[in-house]
Amino acid sequence: MPVRMVFRCQFCDATPDPETHERLVRQLHELVFGEYLDALPGRWLVWDGQGPLGPRRYACPAHRGELTAYLRVHYGSVGWQPWRMPPYPTTLRSADTERALRMRARSPTPR
Ligand SMILES: [Zn+2]
């Protein structure tokens, strides 16, 4: 049974438009540590901390600045990653990510 992911801005509870939602779903498969990711076209900002850098966090376009400020206050002394500056990538596809996608994919994504 398909599971519908729900993404919310952690500051205002906004939800992304359908196209940005699809980008966020795809980014769930990215295997990254301490990275900001841009989710277009809605300009959402994703923080993929992992481990000591905390859970994955989301911000709507209006709260991108709040998210980076929050992360720098709470994790800025844990690592340098929260201090990354824009522009942020939209994907960090790697061999590991590709492998995870292949293992997870039961049916190929239409091209
Ligand atoms: Zn927001």
Q: What is the pLDDT of residues 35-84, one digit of tens each?
A: 999 999 999 999 999 899 999 999 999 999 999 999 999 999 999 999 99
Helix or strand (DSSP H, E) at 71: helix 64-75
11 CA to centre of ligand 1 in angstroms: 5
76-102: pLDDT as tens digits: 999 999 999 999 999 887 767 677 767
| Ligand 1 center to 46 CA (angstroms) | 12
**Domain spans in the chain, listed from the N-terminal domain onward:** 18-99
- Given a cut of 60, whether residue 109 has pLDDT beyond it is no
CB 69 within 8 A of CB 11: no
H-helix or E-strand spanning residue 57: strand 57-59
